[in-house]
Structure 1
């Protein structure tokens, strides 16, 4: 097993990941009943050493609806092979964590249009209105 690279500075070590495999519904025909192709990946976010305290707090807050006792679980069963389902689960986990630990966006600095821009807009509306007024048959 290998670690999951989330960002260039954050990687989740394989020792913190728990895998479970089960029979999958969906594609696969008769092999669905014989192969444990569904992959379930669990990661204990609350006690992970992979994230800094600030990142952990942010992730716990943003992923609170998906966590059960601080554990994040991802299930993948869209492929017929267990290997591809494992890769899909790893990719999904990395994307989820990447979005959760991203710093909040900068606040928008309120601005207002310049006087010239307002005049241009109103002038264009006036011209358009005049054009439509002239088209009308009175």
Structure 2
């Protein structure tokens, strides 16, 4: 089980990991070794609760295709194990980020004392500038 939070977990069988060849520079090693990882997570067929599935499907992320499958490509590291851990960590972080509940905003007001201090400061600044002007007879 991959733990996302204290109440939320995903079974490892729901995540499909496939080793592929990494792109980019790296010499002969790139052409021989499949060190990159493609992680596929089917949101529809996962064991997550329905409200969380809806949130994940409605998020505007290009990695989620039209079938509701999240695809993460991890090729940052040279070894397959590190890339596997990186892909799973990125999936967990994505799920956490998109299932976070926003706190409701409580509207606040500027206090009367703050308004008075602001007014006094403006008047003091105005007075200071008045004193800088030329004296007219």
TM-score, normalising length: structure 2: 0.86
Which is further off, 19-28 or 128-137? 128-137
Matched, 1:77 2:75: yes
Matched, 1:130 2:127: yes
CA separation in 2, counterparts of 1:121 and 1:114? Answer: 11
Q: Name stretches of at least 5 consecutive residues in structure 2 with no aligned partner.
A: none
Partner of 1:40: 38
Q: Tell whether the 8 Å contact from 2:63 to 2:72 is kept in structure 1 after alignment.
A: no
Partner of 1:95: 93
Q: Name stretches of at least 5 consecutive residues in structure 1 with no aligned partner.
A: none
CA separation in 2, counterparts of 1:133 and 1:24? Answer: 70
Partner of 1:57: 54
SS of the residue corresponding to residue 45 of structure 2 reads coil
CA separation in 2, counterparts of 1:13 and 1:48? Answer: 8
Partner of 1:107: 104
- How many residues align structurally? 134
**Between Structure 1 and Structure 2, whose CA radius of gyration is higher?**
2
TM-score, normalising length: structure 1: 0.85
Give structure 1 regions of 4+ aligned residues with deviation exceeding 6 angstroms: none
